[in-house]
Amino acid sequence: MMTLTQGDGPASEMKGDLETITSLAKRRGFVFPSAEIYGGFAAAYDYGPLGVEMRRNIRERWWRAMVQERDDVVGIEASIITNPDVWRASGHVAEFTDPLVECTQCQGRFRADHVENNTCANCGAVGKFTEPRRFNMMLSTIVGPVADESARAYMRPETAQGMFVNFDNVQTTMRKRLPFGIAQIGKSFRNEITVKQFIFRTREFEQMEMEYFCHPDTSLETHAYWKKERLRWYYGLGVRPQHLRLRDHTPEELSHYSKATSDVEVHYPWGWAEVEGIAHRGAYDLTQHSAHSGKKLTYFDPEANEHIVPHVVEPAAGVDRIMLMLLLEAYDEEQLDGGDSRVVLRLAPAVAPVTVAVLPLSRKDTLDPTSRRVWDVLRPHFRTQFDDAQSIGRRYRRQDEIGTPLCVTVDFDTLNDEAVTIRERDSMLQTRVPITGLVAALHERLAALEPRVPSADEIEI
């Protein structure tokens, strides 16, 4: 049985630290500080050419597992700004708050639960904080030409409510029977008091959420099912079991709507932290929206011949946190024979921004037409990059550092034998392959490099 590690894990096994990953992310085009030429903007980041590819891969991997490979889940895209009554009904206007304290010495403001040792992180003052007060984290905006309170709306703090208010639309148009789910990927916004740890906690972020509607009598079983399913997904990304755990919320931690919540936590360099929440929301959301809107949001159970309000289990993950987790998990520094060393991102091919790089041995004109032809052959099948700058050794190291699993080298022998060399990132083994069989050979090697996804029976929680 694959056993989930509980308790404090071995942080030393993650070779990457936050400073190293932040530097690599900027240097190699994964993540840039937003508006850096103007001095940046707190907790705002722009994703570079490699970052957008990696984020797209994460989203596509999630969508395939949660929607396309299932027959009981469909997707929607709801608006970011919607009727403010949605947020009043859901409880966000009244309940979506964090405890705010202010340092009386430097006027710095912090989340009370993020203050360590009663010490101000700005000025070092000890015990100089005000009493905590509740701070609503929703970002508001004005909709329409008149800037008064009647025009106030909110940037959504989660994608979930768009799925709840569309419950009846989806059920009717898709003719879904319980249990079934509605999934969505999109931006959310939270006016966080304390932002830190690079892209881990930001005010603008992207969520991947699914609301799974089920019969109240089977809701606890459904919650347990999704805990295992979501762990399986993370193992399939190459995250080591000792760096993952499930942690059940205590009664004091539960959100106002939650019957039970379990967090998938990752052992980041600074300790255990949530990457995904799996919440049993009960019937709270459908009941609230039904009461506030006057619209009946129920499901007719043909077996019991009655209308019921389904319960909901919600797996909700953050794209940004997953990306940071994967960069930290994949980072490796390896000593080579002869005293040389290299930095390697051992990313699973499914999430690597580039899967195959084409590297001509030389920039001489004699190799360029053949190299470009090989690249043309590969581009429809893989995420590719063409790199002919500097020495071949430096180019291998550059591809290792961005996580490219395979490189294809075109050399002068290629002009005679119509064959190229496949070089593997992790083992650095090199194999000669005819161009005519190159696509198939690359597919085979990439498939072999993908982490194995365990069955649910292999996971013990």
Residues in Cβ contact with 118 at an 8 Å cutoff, skipping those fewer than 6 apart: 126, 127, 129
Average pLDDT of the residues in 157-179: 94
Burial of 338 (0-12, 13-18, 19+ CB in 10 A): exposed
Say which residue, 461 or 171, is predicted with more confidence: 171
Read off the pLDDT of residues 311-362 as tens digits, 9 standing for 90 and up.
999 999 999 999 999 999 999 998 888 778 899 999 999 999 999 999 999 8
Give how far Cα 179 sits from Cα of 74, 127, 199, 313, Å. Answer: 12, 52, 35, 10
Q: Which residues in 271-396 belong to E strands, given as ranges?
A: 271-282, 299-301, 306-308, 311-318, 331-335, 341-345, 356-360, 384-386
pLDDT of 456 above 90: no
Burial of 306 (0-12, 13-18, 19+ CB in 10 A): exposed
241, 235 contact by CB (below 8 A): yes
AA identity, residue 428: M
Q: Which tokens in the block code for residue 266?
A: 């990752």
Q: Where are the domains of the chain?
A: 2-91+143-327, 97-136, 354-449
pLDDT at 6: 46
Say which residue, 9 or 216, is predicted with more confidence: 216
Residues in Cβ contact with 219 at an 8 Å cutoff, skipping those fewer than 6 apart: 259, 280, 282, 311, 313
Decide which of 3.20.20.70, 3.40.50.300, 3.50.50.60, 3.30.930.10 is the CATH code for 2-91+143-327: 3.30.930.10
* Token pair 């990132």: residue: 425
Cite the DSSP H helix spans in 138-283: 160-164, 167-174, 219-235
Cite the DSSP H helix spans in 236-318: 284-293
Average pLDDT of the residues in 32-60: 95
Read off the pLDDT of residues 76-133 as tens digits, 9 standing for 90 and up.
999 999 999 999 999 888 877 778 888 888 878 888 877 888 888 778 888 888 888 8
Q: Identify the DSSP state of 110.
A: E
Cite the DSSP H helix spans in 16-115: 18-27, 49-63, 85-90, 92-95
AA identity, residue 27: R
Distance, CA of 240 to CA of 336 (rounded, Å):
24
pLDDT at 365: 79
* Three-state secondary structure call for residue 289: helix
Read off the pLDDT of residues 190-217 as tens digits, 9 standing for 90 and up.
887 777 789 999 999 999 999 999 999 9
Distance, CA of 231 to CA of 2 (rounded, Å):
11
Read off the pLDDT of residues 251-308 as tens digits, 9 standing for 90 and up.
888 877 788 899 999 998 888 999 999 999 999 999 999 999 999 999 998 888 999 9
Identify the CA nearest to 266 among candidates 215, 224, 318. Answer: 318
Q: Identify the DSSP state of 72.
A: S
80, 155 contact by CB (below 8 A): yes
Phi, psi of 277 (to 5 degrees): -110, 140
pLDDT at 244: 92
pLDDT of 66 above 90: yes
pLDDT at 7: 45
**Most distant pair of Cα atoms in the chain: their distance:** 78
pLDDT of 5 above 70: no
The whole-angstrom distance between residue 386's C-alpha and the CA centroid of its chain comes to 27
Average pLDDT of the residues in 426-445: 96
pLDDT at 150: 81
Identify the CA nearest to 400 among candidates 303, 333, 300, 301. Answer: 333
Q: Identify the DSSP state of 454.
A: P
Residues in Cβ contact with 40 at an 8 Å cutoff, skipping those fewer than 6 apart: 33, 34
Distance, CA of 110 to CA of 193 (rounded, Å):
6
pLDDT at 14: 67
Q: pLDDT band for 374, please (50, 70, 90 cuts).
A: very high
Average pLDDT of the residues in 430-456: 94
pLDDT at 439: 97
- Architecture of the domain whose range is 354-449: 3-Layer(aba) Sandwich (3.40)
H-helix or E-strand spanning residue 353 = none
Average pLDDT of the residues in 23-33: 95
Mean pLDDT (the chain, rounded) = 90
Ramachandran category for residue 91: left, alpha or beta (phi over 0 → left; psi -120 to 50 → alpha): left
Tell me the whole-structure pTM to 2 decimals.
0.90
